[in-house]
Copies of this chain bind each other. A is one copy, B any other.
Amino acid sequence: MRTLKAPSAPTLEMVGAHAGVSRATVSRVVNGSPKVSEEIARTVRAAIAELGYVPNRAARSLASKQAHAIALVVPEDMTRLFGDLYLATIIVGINDRLQESDYVLNLMVASTDPHGKTMRYLQGGNVDGALVVSHHTADTFLSTLTSTIPVVFGGRPAAGIEGGYVVDVDNVAGSRTGTERLIAIGRKRIATITGPKNMRVGSEREAGFLAALADAGLTPGPVVEGDFTLSGGAAAMRTVLEQDPSIDGVFVASDSMAAGAMTVLRSMGIQVPTDIAMVGYDDSEAARSTEVPLTTVRQPSEEMGAAMADILIAVLNGAEDRPRTTILPTQLVIRASA
């Protein structure tokens, strides 16, 4: 049952009274001002703990003209596209860092109303900065944003977008490393199943594959385009085998496709990795669930989220010297398939 009048949340004033100091002093302690004697600070902290004081964000924002909030902007299609852990994991990474700050995350799904409320909200001083999970598909309306508030993109945004910081994964190096694994274990006739070539990730991963082979002086086997789905991977695998039944290794640009490809090999009685070694990409759950556990290239999604948050917070704190682009390394995860 609710009391007639809920005991209102403790204020600075009340904490001050409790600790025998003024509200200003409490404010200083809360904000970690150095000019407070350690003794008083201790008393105040005790009072804060005892009363369970939490700063009122509205009041704080009003007085300081800072929102103490960060927007997480997710293009709508992302929410539909990304079944895999990508988004969720990035969020975990972001959250990790934000938890230590006193910023709050405002989730905005963009594009339901691209030019209206969302933008006005973002530009209206309601958030101090924005994190955009773009995965290379960012809408251009976001470029307006970068001139108003600090923005960090996760994944390089579309070409037209100026300004902002970018955290990205080195796709070329990643697929190069994956391919090199195949070369290192002695495979000579190596094919690849790529992502859609009109997607940046698709072409970048193909580039890394080709570069690794070129460096090793090997001629590439069949290069077949896939669509990042399980069935697409299966279909592509069949095409690869039609084009060249003699291959002994295949680099597949996503784990889902690799899982599909593996079922095809299995059904044809081709042994992995004995007959054909296989390397995937993503280190998603699929990589652990295939019959032969998949050697794959891990994307540091959680680190990516953490880096995005770190950069934005640093910039909000006045860091001027941050590089505009941060490239995170990928990591080869060796399992049984190669």
Q: Please give the residue numbers on chain A whose beta carbons come within 8 Å of chain B beta carbons, in ascending order.
A: 9, 52, 54-62, 67, 72, 76, 78-80, 82-85, 87-89, 91-92, 95-96, 99, 104-109, 112-113, 117, 120-121, 123-126, 229-232, 234, 256, 259-260, 263, 266-267, 284-286, 288-291
Chain B residues with CB below 8 A from A107, complex form? 72, 91, 95, 105-107
Enumerate chain B residues within 8 angstroms of A57, measured Cβ to Cβ: 58, 61, 67, 124, 126
Report A302 CB to chain B, min CB distance, Å. Answer: 10
Chain B residues with Cβ below 8 Å from A290 are: 230-231
Q: Name the distance in Å between A148's Cβ and chain B's nearest Cβ.
A: 8
Cβ contact of A52, chosen from B82, B85, B120, B259, cutoff 8 A: B120
Report chain B residues within 8 Å CB of A96.
Answer: 112
B54 and A58 contacting across the interface, CB-CB below 8 Å: no
Q: By the criterion CB–CB under 8 Å, are B117 and A99 in contact?
A: yes
Which one of A80, A87, A285 has the highest number of Cβ atoms from chain B below 10 Å of its Cβ? A285
**Which residue of chain B has the shortest Cβ distance to A106 in the bound complex?**
B104
The CA of A124 and the CA of B56, in the complex, are separated in Å by 7
| B85 touching A99, Cβ below 8 Å | no
How many copies are assembled? 2
A59 CB to closest chain B CB (Å) equals 5
Known: A58-B67, A92-B76. A234 touches B291 (CB 8 A): yes
Given contacts A95-B107, A230-B285, A267-B291, 6 further A-B contacts (CB under 8 A): A58-B61, A58-B62, A83-B88, A99-B112, A234-B291, A259-B263
Please pick, from B56, B88, B231, B259, the residue contacting A125 in the complex, using a CB distance under 8 A: B56
The 8 tightest CB contacts between A and B, nearest first, are: A230-B289, A54-B124, A58-B61, A231-B289, A58-B62, A83-B285, A79-B88, A95-B109
CB distance from A313 to the nearest CB of B (A): 16
Provide the residues of chain B in CB contact with A256, threshold 8 Å.
Answer: 285, 289
Write out the residue numbers on chain B whose beta carbons fall within 8 Å of the beta carbon of A284.
83
Report the Cα distance A126→B69, complex, angstroms: 12
Q: How far is the CA of A57 from the CA of B266 in the complex (A)?
A: 58
CA distance A260 to B52 in the complex (A): 50
A91-B76 Cα distance, complex, nearest whole Å: 10
- Chain B residues positioned under 8 Å from A120 (CB to CB): 52, 54
Give complex CA distance A230, B83 in Å: 14
